Amino acid sequence: MEIPYVIGIDMGGTNTAFGIVDRRGDIIFRSSISTVGYTRGEDYVEDLGNAINDLITYNNLAGLIKGIGMGVPNGNMNDGTIEKAANIPWAKTVVVPLAAMITQKTGLPCGLTNDANAAAMGEMAYGVAKGIKDFIVITLGTGLGSGIVSNGHLIIGHDGFAGELGHIRVVRENGRLCGCGRTGCLETYASATGVARTAREILELHPDKKSILREITLSPITSKDVFEAAKSGDEVALEIFNFTGRILGEAISDFIAFTSPKAIILFGGLANAGNFLTAPLKKAMNDHVLSIYQGKTEILVSALNDAEAAILGASALAWES
């Protein structure tokens, strides 16, 4: 009998959400634990493993789970490890064999990768990339992540960390400082935090420009604020999206040259900006892409539910085990 279910785990910096997923991509049961409050990986795995085992037992699914897939910060798919994850105290400076530890606790095979790669796997199994063998998923959240699939296979590199397109340098002189320690990285411009930084820069450098964004004084401007302002026709907000889309589109024109993808799939909160982002992105991409690739790559927006996509993406790994 074919085993009908897998488990997907989304390990965030604050919470770890997990669910039991069927082959149609439906999450039939779910739960979560806190990610914070642990100083040892062994203690985290103990609590997570117990919660997984309880979910399986409570729903009478013992023997019906094929395996576990995890999306984790700095996840190394090759080795099943989490490596030097800045926001995870017990993995901040060390390499932790997390997949093996989960398998030991639950008795189920476990694979893991980083969250952007998990998103790519999820799109290929359940989303708009179903049936597409060559594509790139770009996750537009607090930072910019990416998962690259070529000929149906996720590109992970010899060390498990290939595909960090958010850290391609797009501004060489006087670029913005990135959390990675370098300057000018794409994610400092084309991400939710990048949009907010652009807003602050434009408002500070051009005090004569009128914008409803200037009315936001009690809290920092967010990308959502910029989106709402753009919907009302605010010229500064539209300028921000034009700038962001142009930088991302130019970068994508370069990405196309090294994998020739059939599609670029945008995922994450910023992708919900729709044409405000995609119109200037497509124009810049088409203006700068090498002629032999002209018109061959689609820009698609993920249709996966944001609240479920991370679990679904991680679960896709388990079907491969």
> Residue 91 sits in a domain of what CATH number?
3.30.420.40
**Residue 300 confidence (pLDDT) above 80:** yes
Half-sphere exposure of 131 toward its Cβ, with a 13 Å CA cutoff?
1
Average pLDDT, the chain: 94
Task: Say if residue 252's pLDDT is above 70.
Answer: yes
What percentage of the chain carries pLDDT values higher than 70?
99
Residue 33 banded pLDDT, cuts 50, 70, 90: very high
Q: Give the closest residue to 133 by CA, choosing from 147, 119, 151.
A: 151
The answer to whether residue 100 sits within a structural domain is yes
Q: Are residue 116 and residue 139 in the same domain, yes or no?
A: no
Is 281 a domain residue? yes
pLDDT on residue 1: 58
How many angstroms separate the CA atoms of 15 and 136, rounded?
27
Do 113 and 190 fall within a single domain?
A: no
Residue 198: what pLDDT?
A: 98
Judge if 142 and 60 occupy the same domain: no
Q: Is residue 103 part of a domain?
A: yes
Residue 127 in domain: no
- Predicted TM-score (pTM) of this structure: 0.89
Query: In terms of DSSP bridges, do strands 5-11 and 15-22 run parallel, antiparallel, or are they unpaired?
Result: antiparallel
* Most confident stretch, 6-15, 110-119, 233-242: 233-242
Q: Residue 321's pLDDT is what?
A: 65
Whether 274 and 313 share a structural domain = no
Going from the C-alpha of 26 to that of each of 16, 22, 217, 269, the distances in angstroms are 19, 6, 42, 22
Band (pLDDT 50/70/90 cuts) for residue 229 is very high
In angstroms, rounded to a whole number, what is the distance separating the alpha carbons of residues 287 and 254?
12
Find, among 264, 289, 288, 290, the residue nearest to 277 by Cα.
Answer: 264
172 plus 116 within the same structural domain? no
Q: How many domains does the chain have?
A: 2
Q: Domain for residue 92, yes or no? A: yes
**Which residue segment(s) compose the domain that 107 sits in?**
5-122+307-320
**Per-residue pLDDT at 85 exceeds 90:** no
